[in-house]
Amino acid sequence: MKTNTLTKPGTYKTLALLLLLIGPAFLLFLLFVVMPVVQAGYYSLFNWNGIGPLTKFRGLQNFGLIFQDQVFHTALINNLKIVAISLFIQLPMAFGLALLLGRNKFRGEAFLRSIFFFPYILAEIVTGIIWRFIYHPQFGVPTILSKLFTENGGEIGLLGDPSLAFGAILVVIVWKYLGFHMIIYIAGLQSVPKELEDAAVVDGANKIQVIRHVIIPSMKSSFIISIFLSIIGSFNIFDVVWALGQGGPVHSTETLVTYLYNFGFRRFSFGYGSAVAVTLFGICFVFNLFYQRFIVSEGRHGKN
């Protein structure tokens, strides 16, 4: 459909109007989104402490240093673990919950949905502090449980133990974001044609078969969206991890953004930090290209 216009294209009046309409957004976007990113690309080529002129050109050395850094490896692996937990535990759980609570089969569903959704509206930092209490080594839940169920149970400090801390954080991440994905799936469930479901039942399909062959294919776009948000979100996680231990103990819970913060800001190596930012951009960008190219387009033009 052709969009209608009140103004003739190509006249000065149109140009002035365009400037007035699009100018403010363009300026804001250029100054605070685009330019910083371009500048980061430039800074990443220097050894720079953030003050004074850029003189120590290093080319791509910063990137080499990043990829050699053991802590960066931990951070990247941790992000990949978050992606894995999100995709293989959180999303199936959210889908299960949506099936359980999204179809108005009993009274009180809406209330229960709110309970699962509530953690999502909490500030991440608040979430972190709440769970620090739940995990507290002296009086937290793990300690209470260990005293209750084992003979000589003592204090358990999950967040202080480098081998357990990240697992404990993963639990919090699932707790925080599960409800959001549940809501996406509930919205998707409502678009599944009821007749299709009934027809399958008439044809003798059991519950699992209906879910497998009718519901899941009809909800393809919900899955595409929630997988996309999960992965992008997983790479950008910061607040929760920060509140639960600032990337420690001994860097065991470092993620790409805590790494960026710890190494860029706390040590004032802005050149190095910029290189981390550029790498993170690169990862998100490549992932998105891939996702657009192979998943989203297939979802749009595929057989559904």
Which of the residues 136 through 155 are near another protein (CB under 8 A)?
Answer: 136, 138-141, 144
Stretch that binds another protein, among 84-92, 125-133, 146-154, 197-205 (CB under 8 A): 125-133
- Does residue 134 belong to the site contacting another protein (CB under 8 A)? yes
Q: How far is the CB of 299 from another protein (least distance, A)?
A: 10
Q: What share of the chain is helix, strand, coil (3-state, %, to 5)?
A: 70, 0, 25
28, 77, 84, 145: which one binds another protein (CB under 8 A): 28
One of 7, 49, 206, 297 touching another protein (CB under 8 A): 7
Least Å distance between CB 226 and another protein? 7
Distance from C-alpha of 177 to C-alpha of 235, rounded to nearest angstrom: 14
Positions 240 through 279 that interact with another protein (CB under 8 A):
242-243, 257, 260-261, 264-265, 270, 273-274, 276-277
In angstroms, what CA-CA distances link 161 with 135, 140, 217? 12, 15, 43
Smaller CB separation from another protein, 15 or 84: 15
Quote the CA–CA distance of 14 and 6 in Å, as a whole number. 10
| Cβ(247)–Cβ(255) below 8 Å | yes
List 57, 268, 285, 290, residue binding another protein (CB under 8 A) = 285
* Closest approach of another protein to the CB of residue 248, in Å: 16
| Residue 60 near another protein by CB under 8 A | no
Residue 141 burial class via C-beta count within 10 angstroms: exposed 0-12, middle 13-18, buried 19 and up = middle
**Residue environment code for 37-54, b if the CB has 16+ CB neighbours within 10 A, otherwise e:** eeebeebbbbebeeeeee
The piece of 57-65, 122-130, 158-166, 244-252 that touches another protein (CB under 8 A) is: 122-130
Of 16 and 199, CB closest to another protein: 16
Number of residues that bind another protein (CB under 8 A): 95
The reply to whether 286 sits near another protein by the rule CB under 8 A is no
- Residue range at the interface with another protein (CB under 8 A); choices 56-64, 72-80, 118-126, 151-159: 118-126
Find the binding residues for another protein in span 179-208 (CB under 8 A). 180, 183-184, 187
Q: 36: part of which helix (H) or strand (E)?
A: helix 35-43
Does 119 bind another protein (CB under 8 A)? Our answer is yes
Which of 73/114 has CB closer to another protein?
A: 114
CA-CA distance, 252 to 51, in Å (whole number)?
31
Nearest Cα neighbor of 265 from 247, 244, 284 is: 247
Q: Is 101 a residue that touches another protein (CB under 8 A)?
A: yes
CA distance 249 to 267: 18
Q: Does 89 bind another protein (CB under 8 A)?
A: no
Distance CA 137, CA 160 (A): 9
